[in-house]
Structure formats: structure tokens, C-alpha cells
Amino acid sequence: MATKEEDRARMIARHNLVVSIIEINSQQMRSQSARAGLEIERACAVRDAALPGASPDLAGVIEELDRRMAALANEIQRLAARRDFLNAGLIEFDTGDASQPVGRPSGEQ
């Protein structure tokens, strides 16, 4: 049976895990919002590039937007993987052996 100190430590650890998940979700939402903004900028640049007398610089602008969108897509994927890891840790925390540290396989201390 866990002592009050152990119960308190687990409660704080669980709280910190939930806070981490919330922070990851917030970062992911900001990244998705930024990517949506870049998609709008890109659509405008593509439209402008198709106009007669369009600046040849627009091709470079579109390429830069594509690079930034790819970087954000990678960041979104990284954040999703991190969130999945934390969610699995939370599930393990809530359903697993209370004597095992969260995020470590059984037998590893």
C-alpha cells in the first residue's frame, strides 16, 4: 500500500504529465494555425504569379513558403508523436502498476 507521500508524488507526477500534454496541444494548434496562414499566403502568391506581368520573384516566394510549410508539417508531426507518447504514459499511469515509474518498462528502474 502506498504511503501518503507516495500518493502525493504520483498525483503531482500525473498533474505534470497532463500539463505537458496541454502544452504540446497548444504548440500543435499554434503550428497548425501558422501552417494554415502559410497556405493562404501561398495561394495568393500562386494566384499573383499567374497574372500577366507578374514578378519573377514570386517563384522564389512560393518556394520559400513551401519550405516553411514543410518545416511546420515536420514540427506538427513531431508534436503529434510527442503527444501520443505522453498520452500513452497517462494511460499507463492511470491503468498500470502504481509501483512502476511512468514511462519506464517493467523491470527498469
Q: For residues 77 and 9, what is the distance between their CA atoms, to the nearest angstrom?
A: 31
53: alpha, beta or left? (left if phi > 0; alpha if psi -120 to 50): left
Residue 57 CB neighbour total at 10 angstroms: 10
**What does the pLDDT read at residue 99?**
54
**What does the pLDDT read at residue 109?**
38
Query: pTM score, two decimals?
Result: 0.75
**What does the pLDDT read at residue 104?**
43
For the cut 50, the answer to whether the pLDDT of residue 45 exceeds it is yes
Q: What angle (nearest 5°) sits at the alpha carbon of residue 94, between those of residues 25 and 23?
A: 15
**What does the pLDDT read at residue 93?**
84
- Tens of pLDDT along 46-91? 999 999 999 999 999 999 999 999 999 999 999 999 999 999 999 9
First to last CA, the chain: 19
**What does the pLDDT read at residue 70?**
97
- Tens of pLDDT along 89-101? 999 888 875 555 5
What angle do the packed helices 4-49 and 57-95 form, to 10 degrees? 160
Q: For residues 26 and 19, what is the distance between their CA atoms, to the nearest angstrom?
A: 11
- Tens of pLDDT along 6-33? 889 889 999 999 999 999 999 999 999 9
